[in-house]
Amino acid sequence: MSLKNVYFVPHPPIIMAEIGQQDTAYVHDTINAYHQIGRSIAKDKPETIVFVSPHGMSFENGTCFYDEPNLKGDFEMFGNSSVMFEKEVNVPLTEKIELALEAEDILNIKINREAALRYKKTLKLDHGVMVPMYFIDEYYQEYDIVHITPGNTSLLENYRIGMLINQCLSDSNYVLLCSGDLSHALKDSGPYAFHKNGPVFDRLVKDSIVTKNPENLLTLTEDFIESAAQCGLRSLLIGFGALDGLGIDAKVYSYEGPFGVGYLLSRLSPQEELASFYALYTEKLNRSYEERRSKESLYVALARLTMDKYLSEKKVIRWETFENTIGIGQRSTGLESDLESLLNTKSGCFVSIHKNHQLRGCMGTIEPVMGSLFEEIAYNAVIAATEDPRFDEVTVGEMRELEISVDVLMPKEPVDTLEAFDVKRYGMIVEKGKKRGLLLPNLESIETVEAQYRICLDKAGILLDDGVKLYRFEVIRYH
């Protein structure tokens, strides 16, 4: 088997004697485990080590590959430029992996020195790669490298990337080294203030390795991940993905967090062939998606179909297509009435998109601007998916993960004071001159009228609220 082992390791420069000095006494277990991994890799004798590091050049929407034949780096930014590394890059393998990702429509970015200059960066080995090298090279140096930096892309996409990496490996010996620290919020004295989700995250990671099952990691929400203040999750999922369809022998060498950051070192070794976790997991997701779709209202079905068609074909769904798609073989009086309402009613509406219970896009119209509610929902579905300035455009691959709601707005009414509001019942509009801000009612994160008001002012860009006009409105929310 060409992939010898997958290693998951931290990258704190403080564990290196030249940088940590006397502080290395506090990370004895981590240092000892790193030496064990160095000796293990020496036994693997890899021709290439594929490094996955979160601290290279990174992009929100894609995976980055360093596309140069030779890479250098040192620890100058950590106060010691005398410790340095220089490695040859396995360019053919790098390009092979890039092409495999492209074939699966997974965005990847190739960075050479010229491109790095355009981004005002220097193309160097980062500490996520060099800290492991520090210990590996003490025992073994006869390897070249592939350098990969995950983007802030979906967790399942990173698992899939690991699968594709393994498919690209030939009969030569390879090691996949996934670099990443766990939570940085284990103590108030650490880099971040303590957060209760920090220790929980670290336990989840350790348990996933011990049980050889990444499912609990794939279902983490972005809010939870952010609160845990970690940098290793996507690296680890790439490592798990590389072993998809294989039994795993898992070994945890050590775990400690003396400086408020979790350091875990482990090895995942490929064993016998098994059923693909990815196939089973995506089948489960598909069943859940189809069940969710079957329960969606007509208005949400319209928004979803419109997004899907626009993102895949750059076309907006036509009435005839929608009418033929919805309710075939099950036309009820209620459905016919709803279809008639879509075609003959005019109203403002908002389309909201959530992913893993986190907002992914929300755009709408306060008053109708189109000829029918059908057109209004279709229009706002497209702009919510593609033009919300807070988010990148939704991708076709995300559609199955999205939760969509449609708010149909009732006519607004002017009010004199904030006492006329109830955050659960009424949405709010503030106006001053040409500036206007709106917030829908009954949002999870908004608990007081004062908070609703302040957010509306911020959205409108109104700094002084003297002379602000207030309006309230009710909505019918469809899921």
For the chain, the domains span 3-276, 296-406, 410-479
Beta carbons within 8 Å of 132's beta carbon, 6+ residues apart? 7, 9, 11, 34, 37, 51, 177, 179
CATH superfamily of 296-406: Hypothetical protein ph0010; domain 1 (3.30.700.20)
Asked whether 428 and 421 are in contact (CB, 8 A), the reply is yes
Specify the range with the lowest mean pLDDT, choosing from 2-6, 287-291, 335-339: 335-339
Task: Please report which confidence band the pLDDT of residue 395 belongs to, taking 50, 70 and 90 as the band edges.
Answer: confident
Task: Please report which confidence band the pLDDT of residue 327 belongs to, taking 50, 70 and 90 as the band edges.
Answer: low
Q: For 330-374, write each residue's pLDDT tens digit.
A: 444 457 777 888 989 999 999 999 987 788 999 999 999 999 999
Asked whether 379 and 351 are in contact (CB, 8 A), the reply is no
How far is residue 462 from each of residues 266, 421, 430, 435, measured CA to CA in Å? 53, 20, 9, 7
Kindly indicate whether the domain formed by 410-479 is annotated with CATH number 3.30.1490.150. Answer: yes
Cα–Cα distance, 13 to 24 (Å, whole number) = 10
**Tokens 């919510």 belong to which residue?**
384
Q: For 265-288, write each residue's pLDDT tens digit.
A: 999 999 999 999 999 999 998 898
Tokens linked to 355: 């992913």
Task: Please report which confidence band the pLDDT of residue 329 belongs to, taking 50, 70 and 90 as the band edges.
Answer: very low
**What is the CB-side half-sphere exposure of residue 108 using CA atoms within 13 A?**
27
Asked whether 135 and 33 are in contact (CB, 8 A), the reply is no
Q: What was the pLDDT predicted at 64?
A: 96
Beta carbons within 8 Å of 215's beta carbon, 6+ residues apart? 208, 277, 281
Average of per-residue pLDDT across 147-174: 94
- The Cβ of residue 316 has, within 10 Å, a number of other Cβ atoms equal to 14
Q: For 80-131, write each residue's pLDDT tens digit.
A: 999 999 999 999 999 999 999 999 989 999 999 999 999 888 899 999 999 9
Fold of 3-276: Protocatechuate 4,5-dioxygenase; Chain B (3.40.830)
